[in-house]
Amino acid sequence: MINVNYQNSSMNPQEKRKLETVVILDISGSMKNAVKDIITKILPSFFKKLDYDENDEIHLITFNDNAEHYKMKVKDLKNSKIISNGWTKMLRAVEKFKLLLQEFNKTEIDAVRLLTISDEQIQDKNETLSATNELKKLSEGFSILINSQAIRWGEYADTDALCSLLVLGSIKNLPFIETKIKNYADNFEQIIKNWTRPIKNDQLTTFRWLEKSVFLMVRIQFG
């Protein structure tokens, strides 16, 4: 979690925004070495670009046949031993995020940054879509601002299921960035730049009275 001090003269200078960050990552077999590279290389640099402190905590939810939730410091990402394996089933990841969102609501979290990443067809697509629709209804009773992004890691990613969590936001027309990358390992800097852009200016760390979230779907293709 990140606590952000307010500098606006109309606000109490002691007041802080409570911001949580959640990454939902596909670690199924098709992701191969990308799982390790995303967790240990891309995400640490991504958070550094966003001015996160290395001791700031983030939530990582991984999914394949099952789903796991890790709460960890940014500095610990580079030491992750998580590897790719199994099928691509997203339902349980959505269920874990639902539990997190309910907890955030109870603890009066102000805002959430959510990043969902996958490269393949979701095998429990219908169940996932149903779960996200129910989560949308639940979240409408919360006062949490959400910046939700969906990243297609490759051209075969399941757009419908992957982007289903975008319904948690208030902006309906999603900007779309398509990045064609022949070898992602040689393009970490460009990937991080693309991922950072929609978050850098989302204002979730600036104004309590902001009423809308900002969303971006990033598509990454490999040739």
In the chain, the domains with their CATH numbers are 2-222 (3.40.50.410)
**CA atoms of 138 and 129, how far apart (whole Å):** 14
> Given this model, what pLDDT does residue 2 score?
63
Q: Report the half-sphere exposure of 113 (CA within 13 A, side-chain side).
A: 24
Predicted confidence band of residue 167 (pLDDT cuts 50, 70, 90): confident
> Given this model, what pLDDT does residue 11 score?
44
% the chain with pLDDT above 90: 55
Which residues, other chains included, contact 189 with Cβ-Cβ below 8 Å and sequence gap of 6+?
A: none
State yes or no: pLDDT of 115 exceeds 50: yes
